[in-house]
Amino acid sequence: MKRTPHSSEEASPKRTSTIKNKTFILIIWLLLWQVTAMIVHNDILLASPVKTVVTLWEYLLTADFYISLSGSIIRIILGIITGFLLAVIMSIIAVRFKAAKEFFAPLVGVFKSVPVAVFVVLMIIWWGTDLLTLAVCIPVALPNMYINILEGMKTVDKKMLEVAHIYHFSPLTSYRFIYKEAVKDNVYSAAKISVGMCFKAGIAAEIIGTPKYSIGGRLYLSKIYLDTPGVFAWAVAIIIISFLAEKLFIKLLDIYFYPRTGKITFTEKKTSPEASAVLRNVSKSFGDEEVLKNVNMELFSGNIYFLNDPSGSGKTTTLRILSELEKPDRGSVNAPEAAFCFQEDRLFEDHDAITNIMLGGCDRKRAHELALTLLGTEDIQKPVRDLSGGQKRRVSLLRAFAGDFPMILLDEPFTGLDEENRKKASDFIEGNKDNRIIVIASHVKA
């Protein structure tokens, strides 16, 4: 599920139709409710929707209503946020340390399985009623969030982790651009479920513990006095605030996950005094297939080298060994650190071209200058997902030249480019080789 914006022209008719359908269904149910109440003809057994609305209106005119409402909302939302933050912290630890995942498993299992009423009783014994609602919401929200975040972590794109490794992303930058994207859809799903569950559990806990200034306390009084219209009125209020709280939480997640320009940090690169890259008797096999056999190669700075062998001859494997993404089975490798334009674009598609180029290791000004060499001014600030295949290829190429790497490895950098743009890309490579080693694996020598 990808949360991407749509134009208002496309979305408006569909949204209007959906609203009409839902409104029609709601009216049908309200009519059925009203007819049933008229047949029963007893407000204690079943209050009508009209009576419920009148009672709710009367509540709206009293200060006690807002005091009770705000007391419950604050406690429940604090419980949701606390559960969410704990789930995030636990999931990060669990991903980093396998033993921690096993350690957390019994706690999460207890939170998932034990009835809310048990937690309510325990919290009343341990903490009293003042923090009851907050405390109950934590074990309700935490397991759902924790499990969903862990599931999201499993979908982290290992190819993008290679990008992070090549360009020395700091842990914070890796989190922002890779891990956060991986868990995004799972967090949205968990939030939609957890908010409603917490409101139900929180109000139920208040009915048992009857803390001061709470919806549950008011519902308890309505029950004592057989005030069924009051019960229904509070139920309507709960449904409305639960709906609004969910929308608010989703909006906050939108703000959190929506790509924003911020400081991009990198870990320190190793110094690379080598002026050359050397492969000696390098061999590499994958299963029974020997891709490289006794390869010898010596590359010097200030030169461009082309690997023009046919497909399957090991061009990509050679680049990966030079970049230390692969280890040879035999032989030795001595090479400086390298930037890598992969055969796939491997871009962060929710972010614009300039941000993607910056991730190669430069500031915004330098990224902007590079972007203008191969892209139009109207394209450099678009989300990469909105660019054509050829434009994405150029962004990937520009990213490889953004940093100060002594070696640049380009795997099929001209794929998807027409003759004119291939010539521009070739001129760009020649004009920016400086004193670096450039290795190009390509079917076409540009």
User: Residue 96 maps to which CATH number?
Assistant: 1.10.3720.10
| Contact call for residues 267 and 169 (beta carbons, < 8 A) | yes
Same domain assignment for residues 362 and 213: no
Same domain assignment for residues 253 and 286: no
Same domain assignment for residues 241 and 326: no
Q: What is the mean pLDDT of the chain?
A: 88
- Give the residue numbers spanning the domain of 313: 274-446
The band of 271, judged by pLDDT with boundaries at 50, 70 and 90, is: low
**How far apart (Å, rounded) are the C-alpha atoms in residues 180 and 169?**
14
Residue 329 lies in a domain: yes
The band of 19, judged by pLDDT with boundaries at 50, 70 and 90, is: confident
Residue 67 lies in a domain: yes
Same domain assignment for residues 176 and 226: yes
Residue 263 lies in a domain: no
Same domain assignment for residues 311 and 426: yes
Percent of the chain with pLDDT over 70: 93
Domain boundary, last residue among 230, 257, 284: 257
The band of 446, judged by pLDDT with boundaries at 50, 70 and 90, is: low
Domain boundary, last residue among 194, 222, 257: 257
Same domain assignment for residues 229 and 159: yes
Percent of the chain with pLDDT over 90: 54
Mean pLDDT of 124-150: 88
How many domains, in total, are found in the chain? 2
The token pair that represents 446 in the structure block: 């540009």
Residue 9 lies in a domain: no
Same domain assignment for residues 321 and 376: yes
Q: In what order do the strands lie in the sheet with 338-341?
A: 304-307, 437-441, 407-411, 338-341
The DSSP bridge pattern shows strands 330-334 and 276-286 to be antiparallel
pLDDT tens-digit series, residues 402-435: 999 999 999 999 998 999 999 999 999 999 988 9
The vertex-205 CA angle with 200 and 211, nearest 5°, equals 125
Same domain assignment for residues 393 and 445: yes
**How far apart (Å, rounded) are the C-alpha atoms in residues 311 and 309?**
7
Identify the CATH number of the domain in which residue 419 sits. 3.40.50.300
- Give the list of residues 6+ apart from residue 154 with CB closer than 8 angstroms, or none: none
Same domain assignment for residues 88 and 221: yes
Same domain assignment for residues 279 and 251: no
Inter-CA distances, 378 with 16, 95, 350, 366, 398, Å: 33, 40, 17, 17, 17
Residue 209 confidence (pLDDT): 85
The token pair that represents 19 in the structure block: 């609203």
The band of 8, judged by pLDDT with boundaries at 50, 70 and 90, is: very low
Same domain assignment for residues 140 and 191: yes
Mean pLDDT of 186-201: 90
Answer whether residue 258 shows pLDDT above 60.
yes
**How far apart (Å, rounded) are the C-alpha atoms in residues 382 and 392?**
11
Same domain assignment for residues 150 and 250: yes
